[in-house]
Amino acid sequence: MERTYSPFEFLPFGGGNRRCIGAAFALYEMKLILGTLLRRYSFELMSKKPVRVGLQGMPGSPVRVIVR
């Protein structure tokens, strides 16, 4: 690769002509599942401390939540 990517860039399915063939379906499925969870449940952080962001925009440590 000719360049270095920043921690804020995320390519979960690759890119270019070698892109994952199931990428569109996987993203659609993730949106459906997330929408269903958010509609049926409410989520609350167990700790009031701010969540630290790590590499690729992911949490730097586990995030514990209460599901109601």
Round to whole Å and give the CA distance between 35 and 29: 10
Does any domain span residue 44? yes
Round to whole Å and give the CA distance between 28 and 8: 22
pLDDT-derived band at 9, boundaries 50, 70, 90: low
Asked if 44 and 65 count as a contact pair (C-beta separation under 8 A), the reply is yes
Does any domain span residue 40? yes
Does any domain span residue 10? no
Does any domain span residue 57? yes
- pLDDT at residue 23 greater than cutoff 80: yes
Does any domain span residue 11? no
Q: Greater confidence, 52 or 32?
A: 32
The pLDDT value recorded for residue 30 is 92
Does any domain span residue 6? no
pLDDT-derived band at 15, boundaries 50, 70, 90: confident
Counted domains in the chain: 1
Does any domain span residue 20? yes
Does any domain span residue 38? yes
